[in-house]
Structure 1
């Protein structure tokens, strides 16, 4: 082989080595890309499942897996002897739940009833022209009539009395005046029923102030939204806060409690973006059904620590760290969030009781958006505590608020315990 051929051969070998090295590097790079692509596919599948997949903890039926509890297998009679070759005919009947009889009549019986008797315009017999006699009256139908709300101007006059005999004898004449029940607020035309209606609309029906303003305008007596807010704040400060304080003492006497919290925006709070509304409720099997909302400046554990103070029972929560390290309490985790063992029959599976209670506030928050001031936020917590506690004790919230605003302004020596939702008289008046 010539020298030129040897050099060409070496160049070819060197070029081949370079190509082999490049091929090796490309294979390594391709393997890395395949790994990255596989990881991205897994992430896409995971996120797709999180967004659009089933959220319930249910298992799909596997046709290849037998059923441990096969009802049909155990319900069929044991076959003995020779069996017929004829095809078995199975007749399946659908069992339908019977409609509960008398439910409509039961519901209608609780309503005020007005009877309409429809008479003939002429009771003359078309054949002989003599007067016909009534032989029966038959109920043809019942209908529920809606009576729209209305406002009335109720004027209260006070009579003054003087002794005519003393006046004749020249003696100093004594005067006596009839008593007039006090209004919840001075220097206003708002009655107990008017204020109770605004509270019912906001905290039960979740109607914000501007829509209430339009509602009262349609009724013929415009009430500005800021006036409604002032009514709520003042009545809460004058009457309701003391009543909720008594409810809190009763709540702390229970052995099992629930707690939850959610964000709540206060518009005039310039220092922080959001505050928190906390809910503390008695347990499912507690003697008293109580729900108390409390506005907190943050999500710090100091809020439940200050509210619960020396409470020494069980506390259900969702596992939020703010409930940890509360002295004297036994923390109970929520089965809806994690799994746990059970040691006391009074402890329920989950914290759903508080979750449902806080949902009432969340639904209202979507409509109200915020409270303008801390006073308004505290009033919202106080009134919502009374509304939810009244409902849990079988009371109509509007009737209960009306009852409180009627009797609390005129209360003298009656203890506040007489106005709690479970009091027998309150139960009779406010259902």
Structure 2
């Protein structure tokens, strides 16, 4: 904060004309600095209010899905070189009213079990209407309704036959199936249902316990927490490890992290721990893998350990931990996220006073957003291409836009234009990470941003607001394993409950095996998964 010098009346009376002019000019500079600091404070306050109460969307205005690109370049010929104009068809200009598609309901309900329910009229009533033998039956009118049967709980009562020899003391018992946990009532279906409720649907254990009690089943949340830890450690952990091995074989990965509270981790209350997430690149759509990794801190040591053996490129935000890895490990390279590059500009526009919103299009922030929107628009059109084709098209159509964006922000920065705090932060972010922001142009497998990873974290971030904190470190690690299984299952279009039930049932039978080759048949993309696991 700038402080204004204080002069007494006597001091001012004795000052020369030159001294008074100097004092006045100095005070003007100080007042200008104060005004600038005050405007930044107002912007920060508006931004904080918007984060708490405002909408999260950062989209610019669009017309029929086509971004307005009038502010990208001053030269018209530059626009014509980088954009494609496609003539609309007659159907696009004058769309006809869509006819109702027949058979959609049957398609939606395909695969569900059916129960035939017939509705008839008694022969006596038909005789009263038509007379004796005065009618014939036509094809039935058929309609469908869906009935839901709430969860049904069944207690398995196992009787193990016991035999003894008549002429000796030999006793023989019939074989009994293996149990998930010794002397525990938990079954594969029960364990999977609790995992699905907590890690797919975000219900805290105390609410799951309450729902059990409403069905006259008394299972405490402490017991369920113990089950989750043991099942994750004993069974699902080996699937997690196999997925980790597979993940490191890809060329492009994406990473991010989010804070989480763990109440009993040996540190003061409210200390932040972190749930890191790693996933295969956005363009690997056939076998996506999403893995969570719980750690106490945000140190570079954690991704360094997790990525040991990986040789390729990682898409991340600008966290310093990744920068350190980039400098120290030649086998790793890092690409920055354009979504983060545009975020500060969007925040600058959102923080503008209402009476100035009409001039938003004239701001540096809006111009920056429009330029970045053009880059996104063209890159989205390449999403279905093969990596080599995508790289070639990026070099041809998108690289000129990237070159123009960086040339423009360097000019704005050098010009010394009075900028809001957020706009200046956006420009400096792009300049500080220019090399990493350009990486996507050189590799067709690299996505433009890290939004896919943030999407993989979304379930966890939503759920943690429901259960607030994790009780223990063991609980945090088991949560990381189970979230990894459920999120990877969803990414591979599997039903998380059915897949968890299948895994627990199969892994139970292999709990004593030393040969782990069977695990490949249990992975989410395995052709040997039962059909009931797949989302149709």
How many residues get paired? 392
CA RMSD of aligned residues (A): 3.7
Other-structure match for 1:309: 308
Match of 2:150 among 129, 133, 148: 148
Other-structure match for 2:264: 268
Whole-angstrom distance in 2 between the partners of 1:344 and 1:427: 37
Other-structure match for 1:112: 113
Relative to the length of structure 2, the TM-score reads: 0.64
For the residue of structure 2 that corresponds to 1:299, the secondary structure is: coil
Tell which deviates more after alignment, 93-102 or 290-299.
93-102
For the residue of structure 1 that corresponds to 2:117, the secondary structure is: coil
Kindly state the Cα deviation for residue 347 of structure 1 after the two structures are TM-superposed.
0.9
Whole-angstrom distance in 1 between the partners of 2:208 and 2:102: 40
Other-structure match for 1:421: 524
Deviations 1:61-95 (A, max 9, x none): 98xx99988999x89xxxxxxxxxxxxxxxx8555
Kindly state the Cα deviation for residue 385 of structure 1 after the two structures are TM-superposed.
0.8
Match of 1:139 among 125, 138, 141: 141
Other-structure match for 2:283: 285
Residues 1:340 and 2:438 aligned together: yes
Other-structure match for 2:496: 397
Whole-angstrom distance in 1 between the partners of 2:324 and 2:27: 53
Other-structure match for 1:222: 218
Kindly state the Cα deviation for residue 201 of structure 1 after the two structures are TM-superposed.
0.1
Change in CA separation of 1:38 and 1:260 when aligned onto 2, cut-off 3 Å = closer
Match of 2:245 among 243, 249, 253: 249
Kindly state the Cα deviation for residue 357 of structure 1 after the two structures are TM-superposed.
0.9
Change in CA separation of 1:154 and 1:126 when aligned onto 2, cut-off 3 Å = same
Other-structure match for 1:430: 533
Other-structure match for 1:360: 459
Kindly state the Cα deviation for residue 129 of structure 1 after the two structures are TM-superposed.
4.5
Kindly state the Cα deviation for residue 269 of structure 1 after the two structures are TM-superposed.
2.1
Tell which deviates more after alignment, 106-115 or 408-417.
408-417
Matched-pair contact (CA < 8 Å) for 1:123–1:131 = no
Q: For structure 1, which runs of at least 5 residues remain unmatched after alignment?
A: 1-16, 76-91
Deviations 1:235-265 (A, max 9, x none): 1121111221111111111111111111111
Alignment of 1:17-416 (within 5 A): 35=32, 39=36, 42-43=39-40, 46-47=43-44, 50=47, 55-57=58-60, 93=94, 95-96=96-97, 100-121=101-122, 122-126=124-128, 129-131=131-133, 133-161=135-163, 176-272=172-268, 273-286=271-284, 288-326=287-325, 327=329, 328-338=331-341, 339-341=437-439, 342-411=441-510, 412-413=512-513, 415-416=518-519
Matched-pair contact (CA < 8 Å) for 1:150–1:219 = no
Whole-angstrom distance in 2 between the partners of 1:408 and 1:128: 65
Which of the two has greater helix per residue? Answer: 2
Tell which deviates more after alignment, 367-376 or 29-38.
29-38
Q: For structure 2, which runs of at least 5 residues remain unmatched after alignment?
A: 1-13, 62-66, 342-436
For the residue of structure 1 that corresponds to 2:218, the secondary structure is: coil
Deviations 1:20-68 (A, max 9, x none): 99x9899879967974685467447745774569843558798xx9998
Change in CA separation of 1:127 and 1:229 when aligned onto 2, cut-off 3 Å = closer
Relative to the length of structure 1, the TM-score reads: 0.79
Other-structure match for 2:385: none
Change in CA separation of 1:34 and 1:316 when aligned onto 2, cut-off 3 Å = closer
Whole-angstrom distance in 2 between the partners of 1:215 and 1:146: 17
Tell which deviates more after alignment, 219-228 or 417-426.
417-426
Change in CA separation of 1:427 and 1:118 when aligned onto 2, cut-off 3 Å = closer
Change in CA separation of 1:115 and 1:127 when aligned onto 2, cut-off 3 Å = closer
Change in CA separation of 1:246 and 1:55 when aligned onto 2, cut-off 3 Å = closer
Tell which deviates more after alignment, 36-45 or 127-136.
36-45
Kindly state the Cα deviation for residue 133 of structure 1 after the two structures are TM-superposed.
4.8
Q: Compare CA radii of gyration and give the structure with the larger one.
A: 1
Higher relative contact order (CA 8 A, sep 6+): 2
Tell which deviates more after alignment, 126-135 or 342-351.
126-135
Whole-angstrom distance in 2 between the partners of 1:325 and 1:38: 38
Kindly state the Cα deviation for residue 423 of structure 1 after the two structures are TM-superposed.
2.1
Whole-angstrom distance in 2 between the partners of 1:116 and 1:298: 60
